[in-house]
A = this chain, B = another copy of it.
Amino acid sequence: MEEISFKPERSQYVYTFGGAKPVLTVKPGSVLRLWSEDAFNFALQSVDDLPSQKVDIRYVNPQTGPFYVTGAEPGDTLVLHIVDLEPARNFGASSTIPFFGGLTSTDRTAMLQQPLPEATWIYHVDSKRKEVGFQSRFGDLEFSMPIENMLGTVGVAPPGGEVRSSLVPERFGGNMDTPEMKVGTTVYLGVNVEGALFSIGDGHYRQGEGESCGTAIEGAMNSVILVDLIKGNAPMWPRLENDDYWMVVGSSRPMEDAWRIAQVESVNWLSQLLGIHYMDAYQLVTQVSLSPIANCVDTNYSVVTKIPKKILPKASAFDGMHQRLCDIAKLVK
């Protein structure tokens, strides 16, 4: 098993899916140990750093990658398994950016009102207790919360020659901002271009569902990731799997369309997994699926459909790929 460690230079950061040369070539079966910068590009280091003064909007959400996967061709399925995620810095940051977020007017949900107050919160990492510390910015409340590491952004190059900002969640994955992208999760992405050209980034030390104010507890991250490839079988939308759930992430606007995408793809997947008619799968998805919102702040909104494995008949997705990667992960970690 090949192991590759990679920490990009600042000049190697990438801000798009598509449109960038690969930084490395990796073989299916490899283990990647990757470092990624935070979504603010390390511009917010104290509560006095305000986004409008410090953040350069051209250089947000820097990605580590893209990686060229040997043998990956359009129509194939790129498989990534998250073995480990660890904060790579002793603090994370969150902030309210003028006219960005879920509970403010934006450049899209455009209104005439004044922006909300701008502010930055710094969360100190207690790696022993696996906690981050909240400090009120408009009062004096302080307390600690559990760290729950995740990656906001995992994606491949889009089809049709498109190049998309790393802020976008779409069919190609990207900035889905779902807390399900955590240790133990296997991600399946349809390959659109030769080599797949995947990248990752946007580490969160913790995030609620919806990412309401627009920014999670953003932090540099050390990620350990297994890479694999399935010839053909490309899913239409990103699929996730962990020990408990089969999942699909839909991304669009309005939010009901993101949900519909995740649901229709789940109906089709469940139909295939259990060998049943799509109407029976529709019925089962109705009675068993969970539907957490991932983000309601990005260029597209993302919604996850989760199908619980335990209460359904046993089935195997992608020929048992998830279990196989879990077994390897135990050796790697």
Q: A residues engaging B (CB < 8 A)?
A: 15-16, 18-19, 58, 94, 96, 102-105, 107-117, 119, 121, 134, 136-139, 141, 143, 145-146, 160-165, 206-217, 236, 250, 252-257, 259-261, 263-265, 267, 274-280, 282-293, 296, 301, 303, 305, 311-313
A291 adjacent to B209 (CB under 8 Å): yes
Beyond A117-B279, A163-B19, A163-B161, whether A286 also contacts B213 by CB under 8 A is: yes
Query: Which chain B residues border A162 with CB–CB below 8 Å?
Result: 16, 162-165
A121 to B280, alpha carbons, bound, how many Å? 9
Query: Which chain B residues border A290 with CB–CB below 8 Å?
Result: 208-209, 292
A163 adjacent to B18 (CB under 8 Å): yes
Q: What distance in Å separates the Cβ of A263 from its nearest Cβ neighbour in chain B?
A: 6
Q: Quickly give the copy total for this chain.
A: 4
B119 adjacent to A111 (CB under 8 Å): no
Beyond A212-B286, A256-B254, whether A160 also contacts B108 by CB under 8 A is: no
A19 to B18, alpha carbons, bound, how many Å? 11
Query: Which chain B residues border A209 with CB–CB below 8 Å?
Result: 289-292
A-B pairs, top 3 by smallest CB distance, nearest first, are A138-B277, A254-B254, A255-B255
A47 to B85, alpha carbons, bound, how many Å? 49
Given contacts A103-B111, A112-B116, A216-B287, 14 further A-B contacts (CB under 8 A): A15-B160, A96-B283, A102-B260, A108-B252, A110-B264, A116-B279, A139-B276, A162-B164, A208-B285, A208-B290, A210-B263, A259-B296, A291-B292, A291-B293
A256 adjacent to B296 (CB under 8 Å): yes
A214 to B115, alpha carbons, bound, how many Å? 21
A276 to B143, alpha carbons, bound, how many Å? 13
User: Residue A103 contacts which of B263, B274, B301 (CB distance < 8 angstroms)?
Assistant: B263
Query: Which chain B residues border A139 with CB–CB below 8 Å?
Result: 275-277, 280
A197 to B103, alpha carbons, bound, how many Å? 33
A210 to B161, alpha carbons, bound, how many Å? 27
Beyond A212-B289, A282-B212, whether A109 also contacts B257 by CB under 8 A is: yes
Beyond A105-B105, A164-B162, A286-B213, whether A110 also contacts B257 by CB under 8 A is: yes
A141 adjacent to B259 (CB under 8 Å): no
Query: Which chain B residues border A301 with CB–CB below 8 Å?
Result: 256
Query: Which chain B residues border A121 with CB–CB below 8 Å?
Result: 283
B285 adjacent to A212 (CB under 8 Å): yes
B253 adjacent to A161 (CB under 8 Å): no
A165 to B161, alpha carbons, bound, how many Å? 8
Query: Which chain B residues border A254 with CB–CB below 8 Å?
Result: 253-256
A207 to B285, alpha carbons, bound, how many Å? 9
A96 to B284, alpha carbons, bound, how many Å? 12
- Residue of chain B at shortest CB distance from A236: B107
- Residue of chain B at shortest CB distance from A94: B283
Query: Which chain B residues border A102 with CB–CB below 8 Å?
Result: 256, 259-260, 263
